[in-house]
Every structure is written in structure tokens, then in C-alpha cells.
């Protein structure tokens, strides 16, 4: 069976996005996205776990029996999260301290276990790894966009402290969007996360409606006329058969 990688990419990034399509992982989403830098770090860590878990589950899918598949999947995910946690503590210590408990809590991300059960356990290793990459990329985009909007409205900066948290190579991302801005504290606090998330969900709904709603509006009247005509013919035929 051939794998449509374009469909997998579209589902992961847009149609079936972890945040905007499935409304999963909202706890880390709202907690760590006070800045775009934190969102990028959390997204990259989650993407590494998604790719690794998808690949591991696909490779071992014929070895793991159906009766123990869920505990086995959780064990694999927890092992990968531990590796990512230790690696970030070793090489990205400041970011590790900033994200804190939310790195180990990647284990509880329903999206990772859900993709392992729904996709990786039924597909080839390459397709499963690609699906994990696209799902992780979509999750990272959601984290960065939400963090960027909150950071700009809350403090007037973008990717603040990227060089300290992610390394000197990311220093070029640091931008002061609104100079001499006093800040809007609500946007940095959790209520601001809910407000921005609601606005982004509404924006995605509008985009989807404009992309798919136009053709449906023009096709429905024509389809209704066809069904009405067919119904009229059926009634006429039934009336003609009566004695």
C-alpha cells in the first residue's frame, strides 16, 4: 500500500494539527508560551519524542502483542522523554530550567500516544517517523505562533533571550518589535493564553470555511434540484403503477 506523504504533512501541520485541529496538549501550550523562545524549545523537544516514538512503535509493532500494546507504548514514550530530558539538561540547561516540569510531562501528551496507536502501529517505520515529524512540526508551529503573539502583545519583543536559552546561534532571532513598550501583563499570564488561543482557533475556522465553504454553497442547490427531480419521478412512477 502506497503512502501519501503530502496528505500526512497536511494533516500534521494543518488539518489534524495537535492544537488547532485536535485541541490536545493544552496544558503545556498555555503554560510555556509566555515567549516564542519557550514555545520553540518545547516544540522541538516534543517533536523529537514524536519522531522517536513513531519509529520505535512501527519497528516493534509485530513484536508487541495487542493485549499489552498501550503499556508498551507508554514505556517507549517515557524512555524517549527521559533521554530528551537528560539531553536538554546537559546541553540546554537554561532552557531546561525554564520549562521545568513540563518536559517530563511530555509523557502524558495524548497526541503522542494517540499517533502511536492510530498510525505508527499500522504503518511502515519511514511513514511513522514522517508522521511524527509532521505532527511535531505542527505542534511546534502552534507553540511558536501562540508564544509570539503573547510575547509581542505582552512585552513588545520576539524570541527574547533566545541566545541564552537555545544557544548563541539563535541570537539572530531576538527582535524588539515595539520599542519603549510598557507591556500588557495579561497577555503573558495564563488568561492571555486562553484569549489568544481562542482568537487563533477562530482564525483557522474562518480560513477553513473560506477554503471549503464556497464550492459547497454552489453545489448544494444543484444537488437539491437533482434529488427533488428524482423524487418527483419516483412519485410519478409509483402513481402510475397504482390500479
pTM of the model: 0.84
Segment 166-189 mean pLDDT: 90
Q: How far apart are the first and last CA of the chain?
A: 56
Segment 224-242 mean pLDDT: 44
Please check whether residue 222 lies inside any domain of the structure. no
Please check whether residue 243 lies inside any domain of the structure. no
Please check whether residue 94 lies inside any domain of the structure. yes
Beta-bridge partner residues of 80: none
Instruction: Return d(Cα 80, Cα 82) in angstroms, integer.
Output: 5
Q: What is the pLDDT of residue 214?
A: 55
Q: What is the pLDDT of residue 201?
A: 96
Domain extent for 32? 5-202
Q: What is the pLDDT of residue 242?
A: 44
221: cell is 442547490
Please check whether residue 164 lies inside any domain of the structure. yes
Q: Nearest to residue 140, comparing CAs of 44, 52, 51?
A: 44
Q: Nearest to residue 44, comparing CAs of 158, 133, 105, 129?
A: 133
Please check whether residue 237 lies inside any domain of the structure. no
Please check whether residue 236 lies inside any domain of the structure. no
The fraction of the chain above a pLDDT of 70, given in percent, is 87
CB 131 within 8 A of CB 54: yes
More confident site: 49 or 220: 49
Tally of domains in the chain: 1
Q: Nearest to residue 60, comparing CAs of 50, 49, 48, 72?
A: 72
Kindly give, in sequence order, each residue whose CB lies less than 8 Å from that of residue 227, ignoring residues fewer than 6 positions away. none
Please check whether residue 131 lies inside any domain of the structure. yes
pLDDT reading at 220 higher than 80: no
Please check whether residue 210 lies inside any domain of the structure. no
Amino acid at each position: 500500500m502506497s503512502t501519501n506523504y503530502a496528505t500526512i504533512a497536511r494533516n500534521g501541520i494543518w488539518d489534524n494539527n495537535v492544537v488547532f485541529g485536535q485541541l490536545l496538549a493544552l496544558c503545556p501550550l498555555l503554560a510555556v508560551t509566555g515567549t516564542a523562545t519557550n514555545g520553540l524549545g518545547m516544540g522541538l523537544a516534543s517533536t523529537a519524542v514524536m519522531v522517536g516514538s513513531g519509529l520505535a512503535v512501527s519497528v516493534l509493532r509485530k513484536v508487541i502483542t495487542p493485549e499489552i500494546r498501550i503499556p508498551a507504548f507508554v514505556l517507549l514514550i517515557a524512555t524517549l522523554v527521559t533521554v530528551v530530558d537528560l539531553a536538554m539538561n546537559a546541553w540546554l540547561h537554561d532552557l531546561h530550567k525554564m520549562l521545568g516540569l513540563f518536559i517530563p510531562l511530555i509523557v502524558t501528551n495524548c497526541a503522542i500516544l494517540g499517533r502511536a496507536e492510530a498510525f505508527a502501529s499500522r504503518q511502515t517505520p519511514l511513514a511513522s517517523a514522517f508522521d511524527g515529524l509532521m505532527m511535531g512540526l505542527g505542534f511546534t508551529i502552534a507553540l511558536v505562533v501562540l508564544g509570539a503573539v503573547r510575547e509581542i502583545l505582552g512585552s513588545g519583543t520576539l524570541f527574547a533571550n533566545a541566545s541564552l536559552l537555545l544557544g548563541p546561534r539563535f541570537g539572530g532571532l531576538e527582535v524588539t518589535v515595539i520599542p519603549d513598550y510598557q507591556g500588557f501583563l495579561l497577555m503573558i499570564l495564563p488568561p492571555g493564553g486562553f484569549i489568544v488561543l481562542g482568537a487563533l482557533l477562530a482564525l483557522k475556522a474562518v480560513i477553513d470555511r473560506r477554503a471549503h465553504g464556497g464550492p459547497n454553497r454552489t453545489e448544494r442547490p444543484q444537488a437539491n434540484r437533482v434529488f427533488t427531480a428524482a423524487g418527483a419521478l419516483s412519485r410519478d412512477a409509483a402513481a402510475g403503477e397504482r390500479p
